Protein backbone atom coordinates (compact mmCIF):
# COMPACT_ATOMS: atom_id res chain seq x y z
CA UNK A 1 0.00 0.00 0.00
CA UNK A 2 1.09 3.51 -0.66
CA UNK A 3 0.57 6.12 2.03
CA UNK A 4 -1.33 8.51 -0.26
CA UNK A 5 -4.15 5.99 -0.85
CA UNK A 6 -6.62 4.95 1.86
CA UNK A 7 -6.73 1.14 1.85
CA UNK A 8 -10.10 -0.45 1.12
CA UNK A 9 -11.18 -3.77 2.59
CA UNK A 10 -14.29 -4.83 0.67
CA UNK A 11 -16.49 -7.82 1.47
CA UNK A 12 -18.29 -9.34 -1.51
CA UNK A 13 -21.05 -11.44 0.05
CA UNK A 14 -22.11 -12.91 -3.32
CA UNK A 15 -25.39 -14.82 -2.97
CA UNK A 16 -25.32 -15.06 0.85
CA UNK A 17 -27.16 -13.44 3.79
CA UNK A 18 -30.74 -12.21 3.52
CA UNK A 19 -31.74 -8.74 4.71
CA UNK A 20 -32.32 -9.80 8.32
CA UNK A 21 -28.96 -11.56 8.47
CA UNK A 22 -27.40 -8.51 6.83
CA UNK A 23 -28.68 -6.19 9.58
CA UNK A 24 -27.28 -8.45 12.31
CA UNK A 25 -23.97 -8.89 10.50
CA UNK A 26 -23.31 -5.21 9.79
CA UNK A 27 -24.28 -4.23 13.33
CA UNK A 28 -21.91 -6.80 14.83
CA UNK A 29 -19.14 -5.88 12.39
CA UNK A 30 -19.39 -2.24 13.45
CA UNK A 31 -19.28 -3.20 17.14
CA UNK A 32 -16.36 -5.52 16.60
CA UNK A 33 -14.34 -2.89 14.74
CA UNK A 34 -15.30 -0.24 17.26
CA UNK A 35 -14.23 -2.45 20.19
CA UNK A 36 -10.90 -3.01 18.52
CA UNK A 37 -10.53 0.76 18.05
CA UNK A 38 -10.41 0.32 14.30
CA UNK A 39 -8.77 3.22 12.48
CA UNK A 40 -11.79 4.04 10.34
CA UNK A 41 -10.12 7.08 8.81
CA UNK A 42 -7.05 5.02 7.92
CA UNK A 43 -8.72 1.89 6.54
CA UNK A 44 -12.07 1.98 4.74
CA UNK A 45 -14.32 -1.04 5.26
CA UNK A 46 -17.15 -1.76 2.80
CA UNK A 47 -19.70 -4.53 2.39
CA UNK A 48 -21.43 -5.70 -0.79
CA UNK A 49 -24.69 -7.47 0.08
CA UNK A 50 -27.29 -8.80 -2.36
CA UNK A 51 -29.62 -6.15 -3.84
CA UNK A 52 -32.50 -7.09 -1.56
CA UNK A 53 -30.42 -6.26 1.55
CA UNK A 54 -29.32 -2.80 0.48
CA UNK A 55 -32.28 -0.83 1.84
CA UNK A 56 -31.89 -2.48 5.27
CA UNK A 57 -28.13 -1.87 5.32
CA UNK A 58 -28.67 1.75 4.25
CA UNK A 59 -31.21 2.36 7.02
CA UNK A 60 -28.98 0.79 9.67
CA UNK A 61 -25.83 2.61 8.57
CA UNK A 62 -27.66 5.95 8.40
CA UNK A 63 -29.57 5.64 11.66
CA UNK A 64 -26.62 4.38 13.72
CA UNK A 65 -24.11 6.49 11.79
CA UNK A 66 -21.93 3.44 11.21
CA UNK A 67 -18.61 4.16 9.51
CA UNK A 68 -19.06 1.28 7.09
CA UNK A 69 -19.46 1.85 3.36
CA UNK A 70 -21.61 -0.34 1.17
CA UNK A 71 -22.39 -1.02 -2.44
CA UNK A 72 -23.96 -3.45 -4.87
CA UNK A 73 -22.47 -6.47 -6.59
CA UNK A 74 -23.66 -5.45 -10.06
CA UNK A 75 -25.86 -2.92 -11.87
CA UNK A 76 -27.62 -2.57 -15.20
CA UNK A 77 -25.95 -0.80 -18.10
CA UNK A 78 -29.35 0.89 -18.59
CA UNK A 79 -30.88 3.62 -16.44
CA UNK A 80 -34.55 2.68 -16.91
CA UNK A 81 -36.93 0.96 -19.30
CA UNK A 82 -38.04 -2.46 -20.42
CA UNK A 83 -35.24 -4.49 -18.82
CA UNK A 84 -36.94 -7.06 -16.63
CA UNK A 85 -34.98 -7.99 -13.57
CA UNK A 86 -32.38 -5.23 -13.90
CA UNK A 87 -31.35 -2.70 -11.22
CA UNK A 88 -30.22 0.75 -12.32
CA UNK A 89 -27.40 2.91 -11.05
CA UNK A 90 -30.00 5.56 -10.24
CA UNK A 91 -31.67 3.19 -7.77
CA UNK A 92 -28.35 2.33 -6.17
CA UNK A 93 -27.40 5.99 -5.85
CA UNK A 94 -30.74 6.68 -4.17
CA UNK A 95 -29.92 3.95 -1.64
CA UNK A 96 -26.68 5.83 -0.89
CA UNK A 97 -24.44 3.12 -2.27
CA UNK A 98 -20.89 4.43 -2.64
CA UNK A 99 -19.60 1.63 -4.80
CA UNK A 100 -20.66 -1.00 -7.28
CA UNK A 101 -18.70 -4.11 -8.24
CA UNK A 102 -18.51 -4.51 -12.03
CA UNK A 103 -17.24 -7.36 -14.17
CA UNK A 104 -16.71 -9.92 -11.44
CA UNK A 105 -15.45 -13.13 -13.03
CA UNK A 106 -18.60 -14.94 -11.89
CA UNK A 107 -20.67 -12.46 -13.91
CA UNK A 108 -18.34 -12.67 -16.87
CA UNK A 109 -18.46 -16.47 -16.85
CA UNK A 110 -21.91 -17.40 -15.55
CA UNK A 111 -23.80 -14.44 -17.01
CA UNK A 112 -21.83 -14.02 -20.22
CA UNK A 113 -20.71 -10.46 -19.51
CA UNK A 114 -18.40 -9.35 -22.28
CA UNK A 115 -15.80 -6.59 -22.09
CA UNK A 116 -18.32 -4.34 -23.91
CA UNK A 117 -21.01 -4.98 -21.31
CA UNK A 118 -18.50 -4.31 -18.53
CA UNK A 119 -17.50 -1.01 -20.16
CA UNK A 120 -21.17 0.01 -20.50
CA UNK A 121 -21.74 -0.79 -16.82
CA UNK A 122 -18.73 1.29 -15.82
CA UNK A 123 -20.28 4.19 -17.75
CA UNK A 124 -23.62 3.59 -16.02
CA UNK A 125 -21.96 3.67 -12.58
CA UNK A 126 -20.10 6.89 -13.33
CA UNK A 127 -23.29 8.54 -14.65
CA UNK A 128 -24.76 8.10 -11.18
CA UNK A 129 -21.63 9.01 -9.20
CA UNK A 130 -21.10 5.45 -8.02
CA UNK A 131 -17.48 4.36 -7.76
CA UNK A 132 -17.07 1.26 -9.95
CA UNK A 133 -14.89 -1.51 -8.59
CA UNK A 134 -13.73 -2.90 -11.91
CA UNK A 135 -12.79 -6.57 -11.60
CA UNK A 136 -10.20 -8.12 -13.87
CA UNK A 137 -8.37 -11.42 -13.72
CA UNK A 138 -7.08 -14.35 -15.70
CA UNK A 139 -8.00 -18.03 -15.61
CA UNK A 140 -5.39 -20.71 -14.98
CA UNK A 141 -5.43 -21.42 -18.72
CA UNK A 142 -4.91 -17.73 -19.56
CA UNK A 143 -1.99 -17.69 -17.16
CA UNK A 144 -0.39 -20.61 -18.89
CA UNK A 145 -0.94 -19.30 -22.40
CA UNK A 146 -0.55 -15.53 -21.99
CA UNK A 147 1.46 -15.07 -18.78
CA UNK A 148 0.36 -13.16 -15.69
CA UNK A 149 -0.67 -9.66 -16.80
CA UNK A 150 -1.91 -9.88 -20.39
CA UNK A 151 -5.57 -10.75 -19.74
CA UNK A 152 -6.10 -8.44 -16.73
CA UNK A 153 -4.47 -5.58 -18.63
CA UNK A 154 -6.63 -6.18 -21.73
CA UNK A 155 -9.77 -6.37 -19.57
CA UNK A 156 -8.92 -3.09 -17.83
CA UNK A 157 -8.23 -1.34 -21.14
CA UNK A 158 -11.61 -2.50 -22.43
CA UNK A 159 -13.46 -1.52 -19.25
CA UNK A 160 -12.02 1.99 -19.38
CA UNK A 161 -13.18 2.70 -22.95
CA UNK A 162 -14.80 6.12 -22.74
CA UNK A 163 -13.70 6.85 -19.17
CA UNK A 164 -12.24 10.32 -18.74
CA UNK A 165 -9.34 11.29 -16.57
CA UNK A 166 -11.55 12.78 -13.85
CA UNK A 167 -12.97 9.38 -12.97
CA UNK A 168 -13.09 8.01 -9.44
CA UNK A 169 -12.61 4.27 -9.84
CA UNK A 170 -11.22 1.24 -8.01
CA UNK A 171 -9.65 -1.74 -9.77
CA UNK A 172 -9.74 -5.26 -8.32
CA UNK A 173 -7.30 -7.86 -9.57
CA UNK A 174 -8.89 -11.24 -8.95
CA UNK A 175 -7.17 -14.20 -10.59
CA UNK A 176 -9.99 -16.63 -11.39
CA UNK A 177 -7.86 -19.57 -10.26
CA UNK A 178 -7.51 -18.02 -6.80
CA UNK A 179 -11.22 -17.30 -6.22
CA UNK A 180 -12.76 -19.68 -3.72
CA UNK A 181 -9.90 -22.15 -4.23
CA UNK A 182 -8.04 -21.56 -0.98
CA UNK A 183 -5.02 -20.96 -3.15
CA UNK A 184 -4.29 -17.24 -3.15
CA UNK A 185 -1.77 -15.63 -5.47
CA UNK A 186 1.51 -14.81 -3.81
CA UNK A 187 2.06 -11.18 -2.82
CA UNK A 188 4.71 -11.02 -5.56
CA UNK A 189 2.27 -12.22 -8.20
CA UNK A 190 -0.37 -9.74 -7.03
CA UNK A 191 2.15 -6.88 -7.06
CA UNK A 192 3.38 -7.73 -10.54
CA UNK A 193 -0.13 -7.55 -12.02
CA UNK A 194 -1.14 -4.53 -9.89
CA UNK A 195 1.91 -2.66 -11.20
CA UNK A 196 0.96 -3.53 -14.79
CA UNK A 197 -2.62 -2.34 -14.14
CA UNK A 198 -1.34 0.92 -12.68
CA UNK A 199 0.77 1.45 -15.81
CA UNK A 200 -2.46 1.16 -17.85
CA UNK A 201 -4.07 3.77 -15.60
CA UNK A 202 -1.11 6.11 -16.15
CA UNK A 203 -1.36 5.65 -19.89
CA UNK A 204 -5.13 6.04 -20.20
CA UNK A 205 -6.07 8.37 -17.34
CA UNK A 206 -2.86 10.18 -16.46
CA UNK A 207 -0.47 10.26 -13.53
CA UNK A 208 -2.81 11.93 -11.02
CA UNK A 209 -5.67 9.45 -11.40
CA UNK A 210 -3.26 6.52 -11.50
CA UNK A 211 -1.61 7.70 -8.29
CA UNK A 212 -4.89 8.01 -6.39
CA UNK A 213 -6.69 4.91 -7.77
CA UNK A 214 -6.82 1.97 -5.40
CA UNK A 215 -5.97 -1.46 -6.78
CA UNK A 216 -7.29 -4.34 -4.69
CA UNK A 217 -6.26 -7.96 -4.69
CA UNK A 218 -8.97 -10.64 -4.43
CA UNK A 219 -8.89 -14.44 -4.31
CA UNK A 220 -8.72 -16.54 -1.14
CA UNK A 221 -7.80 -13.57 1.06
CA UNK A 222 -7.93 -14.30 4.78
CA UNK A 223 -6.53 -12.85 7.99
CA UNK A 224 -3.50 -15.11 7.73
CA UNK A 225 -2.38 -13.80 4.32
CA UNK A 226 -3.60 -10.17 4.15
CA UNK A 227 -0.39 -8.68 5.54
CA UNK A 228 1.73 -10.00 2.67
CA UNK A 229 -0.50 -8.32 0.10
CA UNK A 230 -0.71 -5.05 2.00
CA UNK A 231 3.08 -4.76 2.17
CA UNK A 232 3.19 -4.48 -1.63
CA UNK A 233 3.42 -0.92 -2.96
CA UNK A 234 0.70 -1.27 -5.63
CA UNK A 235 -1.85 -3.27 -3.62
CA UNK A 236 -4.22 -0.98 -1.75
CA UNK A 237 -6.69 -3.38 -0.23
CA UNK A 238 -8.62 -6.57 -0.76
CA UNK A 239 -11.85 -7.79 -2.29
CA UNK A 240 -12.80 -10.62 0.02
CA UNK A 241 -15.35 -13.33 -0.77
CA UNK A 242 -15.73 -16.32 1.56
CA UNK A 243 -13.84 -14.79 4.48
CA UNK A 244 -16.06 -11.69 4.41
CA UNK A 245 -18.96 -13.83 5.69
CA UNK A 246 -17.05 -14.74 8.86
CA UNK A 247 -17.33 -11.76 11.17
CA UNK A 248 -14.15 -12.34 13.16
CA UNK A 249 -12.14 -13.16 10.09
CA UNK A 250 -13.35 -10.10 8.17
CA UNK A 251 -12.79 -7.82 11.17
CA UNK A 252 -9.29 -9.26 11.51
CA UNK A 253 -8.57 -8.67 7.80
CA UNK A 254 -9.76 -5.08 8.27
CA UNK A 255 -7.19 -4.71 11.08
CA UNK A 256 -4.38 -5.72 8.71
CA UNK A 257 -2.22 -2.87 9.98
CA UNK A 258 -1.67 -4.83 13.17
CA UNK A 259 -0.53 -7.85 11.14
CA UNK A 260 1.72 -5.72 8.97
CA UNK A 261 3.11 -4.00 12.04
CA UNK A 262 2.13 -0.50 10.89
Ligand X SMILES: O=C(CO)COP(=O)(O)O
> Based on CB atoms, which residue is closest to ligand X, 153 or 240?
240
Name the minimum Å distance from CB 68 to ligand X. 17
- 111: annotated active-site residue: no
- 113: annotated active-site residue: no
Instruction: Decide: 99 and 130 in contact? Cβ < 8 Å.
Output: yes
* Residue 20, C-beta contacts closer than 8 angstroms, at least 6 positions apart: 56
Name the minimum Å distance from CB 112 to ligand X. 18
Of these residues, 113, 174, 232, 249, which one is catalytic? 174
**Residue nearest ligand X, Cβ-based:** 241
> Based on CB atoms, which residue is closest to ligand X, 48 or 91?
48
Cα distance between residue 88 and residue 161, in whole Å? 20
Q: Which residues bind ligand X (CB under 6 A)?
A: 12, 104, 174, 179-180, 218-221, 239-243
> Based on CB atoms, which residue is closest to ligand X, 89 or 137?
137
> Based on CB atoms, which residue is closest to ligand X, 89 or 242?
242
Of these residues, 44, 104, 138, 249, which one is catalytic? 104
Name the minimum Å distance from CB 189 to ligand X. 15
12 known member of a binding site? yes
* Residue 105, C-beta contacts closer than 8 angstroms, at least 6 positions apart: 135, 137, 174, 176, 179
14 known member of a binding site? yes
Cα distance between residue 105 and residue 137, in whole Å? 7
237 known member of a binding site? no
Write out the catalytic residue numbers.
104, 174
Known binding-site positions for substrate: 12-14, 180, 220, 241-242
Known binding-site positions: 12-14, 180, 220, 241-242
Amino acid sequence: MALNRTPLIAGNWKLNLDHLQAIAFVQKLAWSLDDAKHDFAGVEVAVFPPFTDLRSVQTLVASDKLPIAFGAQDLSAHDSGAYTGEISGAFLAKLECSYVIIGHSERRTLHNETDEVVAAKVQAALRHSLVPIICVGETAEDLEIHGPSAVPVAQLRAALAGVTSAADIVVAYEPVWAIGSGQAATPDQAEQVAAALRAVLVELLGDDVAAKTRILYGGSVKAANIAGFMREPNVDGALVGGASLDLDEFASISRFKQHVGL
